[in-house]
Amino acid sequence: MAVLVTGGAGYIGSHTVLALLARGDEVVVLDNLSNASAESLRRVARLSGKAPRLIEGDIRDRQRLRDLLATGAIQSVIHFAGLKAVGESTREPLAYYQNNVSGTLVLLEEMRRAGVSQLIFSSSATVYGAQASVPYVETAAIGGTTSPYGTSKLMVEQILRDAARADSRFTAIALRYFNPVGAHPSGEIGEDPHGIPNNLLPYIAQVAVGRLPALGVFGNDYDTPDGTGVRDYIHVMDLAEGHLKALDALPRQAGYRAYNLGAGRGYSVLEMVRAFEQACGQSLPVTIKARRDGDLAAFWADASLADRELDWRVSRGLAEMMADTWRWQQNNPHGYR
Ligand code: NAD
Ligand code: WQD
């Protein structure tokens, strides 16, 4: 029996597929390659010595899913597929609800029809919204999201909760990622954003490699130790391992559960820049800019629930996140292209 990984050619998906293959799981990837390249999976195959099966297709293609699930070969689903750019989601909200919410509904309906009852979902710390107090803990109310992207994650969490309540065979885990960074230590696979990166680490890495002139720091007047935004950065390989732990926990669990996956501590933008400078051995040009709309000052995870119930915790620190990002960026200055 195989694990179906939707969006498995993407950043977090490809690292998780590699971790699954490395421990001997069979994997089928369904990805429409809208934000990924099949090259990521060719490299995963090289690194693991096993080729994941790639089906190039869309989760909203109901017949495709129906045919795939009807083979009886799929035991569980890890669902990464979706759109993820916060700013774009405010300009294109319908595309985000269509892909992230309607797409998930098609997947859930076809899973139910085929009797596939175990799902891991990529949620986000953003579901805690602007009013939550730090550290974010799973017992806190979610909501008050500040973008259609965040609301799409919130809606899917609610759908999963209701679906599990209505059908005792269905079990689902939502993993609320904090800020994923880093790359596989081989430097062969990593994050490959199209265009100008929205997120901090890919931006810093592209400055270091000379593709971008300087990092703009979005505000240095927050109520944080150095005035810049504080986030909980998590190494993508720790995150990948969290999915394996959650997959193993699914058969023991009933209903729906949500877990934070974070390191449980925050670093500021300037701390991240300094740590990257250490890793790449050069100083990086930085300019202070206005605050970015919708940004919060500081948040990090209470990650103790995943520790207790999934036996999962991070094992990679800031230096490793930076060294691995730099290795990937240096070896692949233009990503997979
Ligand atoms: P990514 O864009 O690299 O991966 C998403 C993958 O899904 C891509 O390969 C894309 O081609 C594919 N895809 C998109 N729509 C699809 C569709 N309709 N059908 C089939 N494939 C489709 O993003 P990522 O960073 O790897 O994120 C994976 C998941 O984790 C997403 O759901 C994202 O919202 C969530 N998440 C990401 C972060 C982050 O900072 N990277 C944080 C929290 C949550
Ligand atoms: C981190 C810090 C910025 C870029 C977003 C989504 C979230 C999740 C992860 C999917 C902040 C600062 C950034 C730059 C900067 N994604 N920054 N200059 O905003 O915490 O989270 O990605 O679920 O939902 O909202 O991540 O990497 O964009 O920013 O100063 O060029 O770096 O202000 O303090 P964020 P980020």
What's the CATH code of the domain at 115? 3.40.50.720
Residue 202 lies in a domain: no
Predicted local confidence at residue 168, as pLDDT: 96
- Per-residue pLDDT of 132-163, as tens digits, reads 999 999 999 999 999 999 999 999 999 999 99
105 domain residue, yes or no? yes
What spacing in Å lies between the alpha carbon of 227 and ligand 1's midpoint?
31
Helix (H) or strand (E) holding 171: strand 171-177
How many angstroms separate the alpha carbon of residue 240 from the centre of ligand 1? 14
Structure tokens at 180: 């994923």
Residues 5, 13: Cα–Cα separation, whole Å: 7
Question: Is residue 31 domain-resident?
Answer: yes
* Residues linked to residue 6 through DSSP beta bridges, in sequence order: 30, 79
Q: In whole angstroms, what is the distance from residue 105 CA to residue 99 CA?
A: 10
Radius of gyration, alpha carbons of the chain: 19
Indicate which atom in ligand 1 lies nearest the CA of residue 31: 21
CA 281 – ligand 1 centroid, Å = 31
Residue 327 covered by a domain: no
For residue 290, the model assigns a pLDDT of 98
In the beta sheet, which residues pair with residue 279? none
Cα separations (Å) of 294 from 79, 86, 133, 177, 288? Answer: 26, 9, 16, 18, 17
Residue 195 lies in a domain: no
- Which residues belong to the active site? 149
Would you state the pLDDT for residue 239? 99
How far the first Cα of the chain sits from its last, in Å, is 33
User: Using a 6 Å cutoff on CB, does residue 243 contact ligand 1?
Assistant: no
119 inside domain: yes
Which residue's CA is the nearest one to ligand 2's atom 30?
Answer: 217
Residue of the CA atom closest to atom 3 of ligand 1? 10
127 CB-contact burial (10 Å; exposed 0-12 / middle 13-18 / buried 19+): buried
Residue 217 lies in a domain: no
Question: Which range of residues forms the domain containing residue 124?
Answer: 2-181+234-262
Helix, strand, or coil here: 122?
strand
Ligand 1 centroid to Cα of residue 122, in Å, is 8
209 contact partners, CB below 8 Å, separation of at least 6: 329, 330, 333
Distance 289 CA to ligand 2 centre (A): 14
CB of residue 151 inside a 6 A radius of ligand 2: no
Report the distance separating Cα 93 and Cα 91, nearest Å. Answer: 6
Q: Which two tokens stand for residue 148?
A: 């259609």
Q: Whose structure tokens read 């990529």?
A: 122
Model pLDDT, residue 68:
98
Q: Which of 201, 224, 292 to mutate to test the pocket of ligand 2 (most atoms within 8 A of CB)?
A: 292
pLDDT, residue 180, reads 98
Ligand 2 near 295 CB (within 6 A): yes
Give residue 298's pLDDT. 97
Residue 159 pairs in a beta bridge with none
Low-confidence ranges of the chain (pLDDT < 70): none
Is the C-beta atom of 259 inside 6 A of ligand 1?
no
Peptide bond into 135 cis (omega under 30): yes
Give the single-character DSSP code of 127: G
- Note whether residue 59 is domain-resident: yes
Residue 60, amino acid: R
Question: How many domains would you assign to the chain?
Answer: 1
